[in-house]
């Protein structure tokens, strides 16, 4: 997956989170179980967010991708830039 990442113009926060949540979902259904899982999310919190630029939007995304998963995981967010969206990143970390 990492090798397929490409740089471009702008940030698509929702796509990054969807990919990460998909990996959490996939590992929950694999034969190999690991009780420890984390998403480490580096962003400025700006850019295309396709509906997750609010806490409610992120909660919906989280529920859609993790509904029925028994394993737990955490989300750690790291904001970059002097104008990063600290409120959104804090909310994402608290929900994850």
Span 32-52, pLDDT tens digits:
767 778 889 888 877 666 666
- State the Cα angle at 60 between 78 and 31, rounded to 5°: 80
Please write the tens of the pLDDT for every residue from 9-30.
566 777 888 888 888 878 767 7
Phi, psi dihedral angles at 74 (to 5 degrees)? -120, 160
Question: 43-75: b or e for each residue (b if 16 or more CB lie within 10 Å)?
Answer: bebebebeebbeeeebeebbeebbeeeeeebeb
Question: What is the band of 67 on the pLDDT scale with cuts at 50, 70, 90?
Answer: confident
Q: What is the CB neighbour count within 10 angstroms for residue 87? A: 10
How many helical (H) and strand (E) elements, i.e. helices and strands, does the chain have? 3, 2
């Amino acid at each position: 997956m990492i090798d397929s990442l490409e740089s471009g113009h702008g940030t698509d926060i929702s796509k990054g989170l969807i990919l990460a949540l998909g990996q959490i979902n996939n590992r929950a259904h694999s034969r190999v179980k690991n009780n420890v899982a984390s998403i480490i999310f580096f962003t400025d919190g700006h850019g295309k967010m396709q509906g997750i630029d609010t806490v409610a939007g992120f909660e919906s995304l989280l529920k859609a991708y993790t509904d029925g998963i028994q394993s737990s995981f955490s989300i750690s967010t790291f904001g970059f830039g002097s104008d990063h969206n600290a409120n959104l990143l804090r909310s994402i970390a608290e929900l994850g």
